[in-house]
Structure 1
Amino acid sequence: MAQLLGPAEIRGLAAELDVRPTKKLGQNFVHDPNTVRRIVELSGVRPGDAVLEVGPGLGSLTLGLLDAGARVSAVEIDPVLAARLPATVRERAPEGVLTVLERDALKLRAGELPEPPSTLVANLPYNVAVPVVLHLLAELPSLARALVMVQTEVADRMAAAPGGRIYGVPSVKLAWYGKVRKVAAVPRAVFWPVPNVDSALVEFERGAERAGDREAVFAVIDAAFAQRRKTLRAALAGWAGSAERAGAVVRAAGVDPGTRGEQITINEFAKIAESARLRPSV
């Protein structure tokens, strides 16, 4: 059984490495073993699963995943933390199977991993959480499931449904890949240093592969929310070439051109992109 890290161990490792957590890298280390066990349980990870972890830091969650029998590929951008993690695992989970990659997760490629991961489990830096998840879902079709810890405000946006004020680009683009839901709050006290924002766990389950051009659909989404208070006819004018063509394309997709982007689903955005492909001009 792995020996998980508590507050004393976290501070001891940080002192040993002369690590001063930086806001730039979003470094807030989990020091509560019960929280780690809860995250691993909610992730659904089972013995033998290939798991991708982004931002392992000092290794709190890594040890919990290894304790569950997962084979972990840990991607860490900080060279000092990346270099220390294998030793921490040897000391506390000697039977664990770990690969550490010193990489920027936003630039990670599938071929760099030892095997295709089925699950993403991560305490993500708040400032890049959504771009990282979207990049990994696009790059790693093997990812069937994810459980990520993010800022509560970000979690709400990721899981938002159409029609609400917080429904936007993260909500719609994630919906392209599957289902997202906010599953649990995480108290500030379990981190060191204590963040000045609340955190939450977000669960993702990949759906069936969609037909259509993802980049074309995402271009429609970006255009619609760049001016989210405008109707689709107006907001998509630049994308379509004119407000007239935007209105015709949207109408042909079965959507009211007077609707705003925050009111429609990923399926309707996909229909608009397909309508534009079929209607090169009006």
Structure 2
Amino acid sequence: MTSQLLGPAEVRSLAERLGIRPTKRLGQNFVHDPNTVRRIVRAAGVGSDDVVVEVGPGLGSLTLALLPAVAHVHAVEIDPVLAAQLPATAAERAPELTGRLSVVAADALHVTAAKLVPPPTALVANLPYNVGVPVVLHLLAELPGLRRGLVMVQAEVAQRLAAGPGSRAYGAPSVKLAWYASAKRAGAVPRAVFWPVPNVDSELLAFIRREPPTGERETVFALVDAAFASRRKSLRAGLAGWFGSPSAAEEALRAAGIDPSARAETLGVAEFARLAEGRAGAGRSGGRRDPRPSAEGTGDSR
């Protein structure tokens, strides 16, 4: 079974018929190149047993490429006009595959596992420019069956998410994704395959889920945020507020086997988890607890 993919003329014609003008607010840049969507499906490594969640399907270019390759696609679309049109596009261009498609008209940042049945095993998406990082982190937190993914994001965001300790691009998003998965950059995507043409470069980012470190995720993420908020300072100075004083921070860092003069960008996720666990132990012993909530996402966008 196959589907008829959308080319540049079909994308523009469909958008015109629907009265759709891509908006920066929703981060909309539609892929109109069939070779690109085929490439994404191949690179994602999905197969006939996979259930895919696709965020921001737009006019359906990638959706139509996914349907013949997988068992089911959950297309999560925030734009009500696009969400309403997608089943009709699938029925017209892949009539034998419409039973594999579910459209969820919702903000991906509010999607829960209960809304996606059968449960997704993979994330494959051309993510909206403005919410790439928080969407990936939210779905990995919310969907335990999500084993791998391939997403198209701003090149700068792909660099951040795949960065390792010590690199210039390494930051809080890098650590948070590393909590869930190993990630790597999977190739550049030309600007010309989008409509409208974006003013930024795009890249593919691949990830595979792994077991997280020991510890409480919210506490670790809050510690990561605190550490990178003062990334130019030593950890002893930057985490003084978190631990109650510079001397308390130094004591905790040494107990975790971390040099107090080191900076946040030198620590891997396992070291952050070890440091957070030490502070949690202090809290159980009556030590000071930080009341601030942890942020799952970040302000980084593409």
TM-score (norm 1): 0.98
Question: What amino acid is aligned across from residue 27 of structure 1 in structure 2?
Answer: Q
Aligned to 2:278: 275
- C-alpha distance in 2 between matches for 1:211 and 1:227: 25
1:17 alignment counterpart: 18
Letter in 1 for 2:71: A
**2:117, 2:131 → 1: CA distance?**
24
2:220 corresponding residue in structure 1: 217
Q: Which residue of 1 aligns with 2:229?
A: 226
2:33 is aligned to 32
**Contact kept in structure 2, 1:45 and 1:70, CA below 8 Å:** no
Question: What CA distance in whole angstroms lies between the structure 2 residues aligned with 1:252 and 1:209?
Answer: 21
**Secondary structure of 2:130's partner?**
helix
Change in CA separation of 1:209 and 1:172 when aligned onto 2, cut-off 3 Å: closer
- Tell me the distance in 2 between the aligned counterparts of 1:151 and 1:86: 28
Name the residue aligned to 2:131.
Answer: 128
State the Cα deviation string for residues 172-208 of structure 1 (Å, max 9, x = none): 0000011000011000000000000000000010002
How much does 1:209 deviate?
4.2
SS of corresponding position for 2:223: helix
Structure 1 residue 43: deviation in Å? 0.5
Given candidates 112, 117, 127, the residue that maps to 1:109 is 112
Q: Deviations over 1:64-114 (max 9, x none)?
A: 000213310000000000000000000011122100010000011100112
Q: Which residue of 2 aligns with 1:238?
A: 241
State the 1:40 CA deviation. Answer: 0.2
Distance 2:82 2:130 in 1: 19
Question: What is the CA distance between 1:128 and its match in structure 2?
Answer: 0.8
Q: How does 1:64-213 map to 2 (within 5 A)?
A: 64-96=65-97, 97-213=100-216
Listed one character per residue, the Cα deviations across residues 10-31 of structure 1 (whole Å, up to 9, x for unaligned) are 0011001000000010100000
Q: Distance in 2 between matches of 1:27 and 1:74?
A: 15
Q: Distance in 2 between matches of 1:70 and 1:92?
A: 17
In 2, Cα distance between equivalents of 1:249 and 1:127: 37
How many percent identity over aligned positions? Answer: 64
2:258 alignment partner, one of 255, 259, 279: 255
**Deviation >6 Å, runs of 4+:** none
Aligned to 1:171, what secondary structure does the other structure show? helix
Asked if the contact 1:178–1:206 (Cα under 8 Å) also holds between the matched residues in 2, the reply is yes
Please give the secondary structure, in 1, of the residue aligned with 2:67: helix
Tell me the C-alpha RMSD between the 2 structures.
Answer: 1.1
Q: CA deviation at 1:265?
A: 0.5
| C-alpha distance in structure 2 between counterparts of 1:245 and 1:219, whole Å | 18
Shift of 1:238: 1.4
Look up the equivalent residue of 2:259 and give its one-letter code: D
Task: State whether structure 2 residue 23 is matched by structure 1 residue 50.
Answer: no
Instruction: Tell me, yes or no, if the aligned pair for 1:249 and 1:279 is still in contact at 8 Å.
Output: no
1:210 is displaced (CA, Å) by 3.4
Measure, in 2, the Cα distance between the counterparts of 1:69 and 1:118: 10
8 Å contact from structure 1 (residues 53, 121) kept in 2: yes
CA–CA distance in 1 between the matches of 2:220 and 2:204? 27
Return the TM-score normalized by structure 2: 0.92
Deviation string 1:24-47 (CA, Å, 9 cap, x unpaired) is 101000000000000000001111
